[in-house]
Chains A and B, each alone.
Chain A
Amino acid sequence: MRSILPVLSVTAALIVFWYAAVIPMNAQWAQDQARRAGTELSFAALVTDTMTQARPRLPAPHQVAQELWNSTVVEEMTGRRGFMNTGSLSNRSLIYHGWVTLSATLLGFAIGSALGIALAVGIVHNRAMDASVMPWAIASQTIPILAIAPMIIVVLNAIGITGLVPKAIISTYLSFFPVVVGMVKGLRAPDQMQLDLMKTYSASGGQVFAKLRWPSAMPYLFASLKVAIAAALVGAIVAELPTGASAGLGARLLSGSYFGQTLQIWAALFAAAILAASLVALIGMIQRVTLKRMGMGA
């Protein structure tokens, strides 16, 4: 609780900095407009103009907030295709697009973290896997996923899989890696003294794993799960870019970029940010509860 004041002041400083940046970023356009109209802008007029442009280079925070509000609550409540009028989510609202992205994210995250934990357990317990798999897990992350996304989707289409699964596969691909790295580190965190103690108890491999390695890996697991779910969201968004997807936050980013709709880009970006923050906060909550029950909580 004692960190509320610092967080608020840092956030306030960021917002002030943002507002200050809006003026020089958008001044060019405002000056050009004024010159064409043959008028001279006063400083006050310049500031108001930079804050209210329809397609600013850098939109002001309140414009983004306004756009977010319009494309979620207002669209669903009053829009022609909104929830109130049709009973289903509007395809113009960020709630709909966010849900499309979220479902792919969660599926990919679930598969990816399960795969990551399994691989890490294998790497720690099997020297053949340690020697051969780990370098390739690293190499796999250097393959630009966006490049193979269209190919994955073409191949999966050929065998009749469409929709959610291809995106989830890309999320899986991005999210398994942090879990592998974190869990390998975590499962190896017990030092020689502790392992020797287990040996003096004549503990079996399974017991060493269940009673020593697994519990001491928990802080590492949650740290990497937080990274992994954020990566899964990035994967789902990136997967929507090259495939001509018509729904999802990535599709909103791309169409905003095509048509120069900066407000739409920023609103989609912030919707993605809010989604990511809530997902990470959710895992943070589970982490706190789990670690507290294990007696490791602060």
Chain B
Amino acid sequence: MIITRHTGKWQALGVALALLVTVSVGGWSAAPAPVMTASGGAVALFFVHHVLGWPAMQRGWENKLLLIGIAALIYNTGLALLANPASAIWFAAAVTGVWLMAWWLVAQLAEAPKRDDVIGRFRSLLAPFLFGATLLWLWEVAVRALDVPRVILPAPSAIWARILRSTDVLWVDFVQTFVKGALSGYAIGVAAALVFALAVDRSDFLRRGLLPVGNFLAALPIIGTAPIMVMWFGFDWPSKAAVVVAMVFFPVLVNTVQGLAATEAMQRDLMRTYSATWAQGLLKLRLPAAMPFIFNGLKIASTLALIGAIVAEFFGSPTRGMGFRISTEVGRLQLDMVWAEIAVAALAGSLFYGIIALVERWVTFWHPSQRGR
């Protein structure tokens, strides 16, 4: 049965309906009739096929019809962007249609059989990309249609134009804040936490004393030390790195100490029957078992690092850096520049997190959460 194999029937119905409304209300006069007829017909046939399971089709044909349908929708999208918001039904139908279409596509992608080759990897990247592209598109359309003032929310196209125009400034800020402030602080903080955790691990007394204290300190709003760090280490990047060190140290420490204690008595006994030394037990049993915990801490710390470096710049910085740029450009109501910085920060942070997640998958491949989903 074809019907049971596919999900997202109501989204498909919605897209078809939206297209119908688009075509009948305004799209007819705005678009060349043959294009609209052909694409509308293709999409309609495609969705009839999916919803009713009729008419029966070869697999390849589905995809071709889908491509034609997407082309029609993109065409509609262009029209919706140019559209006069006065024809509200037309506009809303086109927007809803595109949104449902994207949703449906993502659902189809996620349902597709898993593949381990390049195509499979490409597909797994396509789904989040589609989701993000849809969000961006909705943002763009909403800003244009509602005529949102530039000082409240600039459109993505305006932000993109700004990014292209000021790559040099963005690069200088990126180096100052991310490379010098966040990365160096992250490296120092994580290294210190790991060494400290191993030292603590040797003594039960220290572990029992430091774990509650470390937990307490990890929960503190450490970002509040930013004004103090700026006072101590000056305006340049060392003070930002110091804030980042203080922020990432405790989450990594607590997770590592917890992870090192995560083995079962049975497993430790086994190591003892092998007469393993402390170092052997650590390397072969407890460190591997602690890895999921350590990576949990590393991931939390990776998002904290960038936030810490940027926030610390609000308390004083040289005339470069992402936090500096954001606070001054907000004051000058240049919100497109602010969003450009935010985009760079989000991209850098995501890449950073992604790299750590990749390493985690490689190191802790055995953990249930990394295996078949």
Contact = CB atoms under 8 A, between A and B. Distances in A.
B220 A128 contact: no
Interface string B30-73: 00000000000000000000000000000000000000000000
Nearest to B209: A6
Interface string B191-233: 0000000000000011111111101101111011101100110
Contacts of A142: 303, 306, 345-350, 352-353
Contacts of B211: 3
Contact of B110 (A131, A181, A257): A131
B336 interface: no
Contact of B209 (A7, A150, A178): A7
B227 A257 contact: yes
B219 A276 contact: yes
Contacts of B8: 128
Interface in A217-242: 226-227, 230, 233-234, 237-238, 241-242
A143 interface: yes
B181 interface: no
Contacts of A177: 303
Contact of A144 (B213, B218, B231, B322): B322
Contacts of B341: 147
Given A10-B210, A142-B306, A237 B221 contact: yes
B326 A147 contact: yes
Interface stretch (B161-169, B235-243, B274-282, B365-373): B365-373
B153 interface: yes
A202 to B, nearest CB: 18
B208 A238 contact: no
A185 interface: yes
Contacts of B110: 126-128, 130-132
Given A144-B326, A253-B227, A127 B111 contact: yes
Interface in A8-63: 8-11, 14, 57
A162 B132 CA distance: 30
Given A135-B128, A155-B153, A269-B225, A277 B342 contact: no
Interface string A265-282: 110110011001101100
A277 B209 CA distance: 16
Contacts of A6: 205-210
A157 B371 CA distance: 47
A136 B128 contact: yes
Nearest to B338: A147
Contact of A268 (B216, B220, B224, B335): B224
Contact of A234 (B124, B223, B326): B223
Interface stretch (B21-29, B88-96, B263-271, B308-316): B308-316
Given A6-B206, A131-B106, A135-B128, A144 B220 contact: no
A3 B323 CA distance: 42
A86 to B, nearest CB: 29
Interface string B155-191: 0000000000000000000000000000000000000
Nearest to B292: A185
B231 A188 contact: no
B224 A237 contact: yes
B109 interface: yes
B132 A276 contact: no
Interface string B323-349: 100110010000100100110011111
A151 B227 contact: no
A127 B8 CA distance: 12
Contacts of A272: 220-221, 224
Question: Contact residue range for chain A?
Answer: 35 or more
Contacts of B82: none
A148 B154 CA distance: 13
A230 B215 CA distance: 11
B152 interface: yes
Give the one of A147, A155, A266 with max B CB within 10 A.
A147
A106 interface: no
Contacts of A127: 107, 110-111
A241 B315 CA distance: 10
Contacts of B220: 230, 272-273, 276-277
B368 A191 contact: yes
A192 interface: yes
Given A7-B213, A142-B349, A265 B228 contact: yes
B323 A144 contact: yes
A213 to B, nearest CB: 12
A10 B209 contact: yes
Interface string B281-308: 0000000000000001001100100110
A130 B107 CA distance: 10
A285 interface: no
Interface string B347-365: 1111011100000000000
Contacts of A3: 208-209, 211-212
B106 A242 contact: no
A131 B346 contact: no
A74 interface: no
A253 B220 CA distance: 14
A234 B211 CA distance: 22
B213 A241 contact: no
18 contacts: A8-B209, A131-B128, A132-B106, A141-B349, A142-B345, A142-B346, A142-B348, A146-B311, A147-B323, A147-B341, A147-B345, A150-B330, A151-B338, A230-B220, A242-B330, A269-B225, A273-B216, A280-B219
Given A189-B368, A227-B219, 17 more contacts: A3-B212, A7-B209, A126-B110, A128-B8, A131-B124, A136-B128, A136-B131, A142-B345, A147-B310, A147-B323, A151-B152, A237-B221, A253-B227, A256-B227, A265-B228, A277-B220, A280-B219
Which 9 A-B residue pairings sit nearest by Cβ, starting from the closest? A142-B349, A6-B209, A131-B127, A132-B131, A127-B110, A257-B227, A10-B209, A135-B128, A230-B219
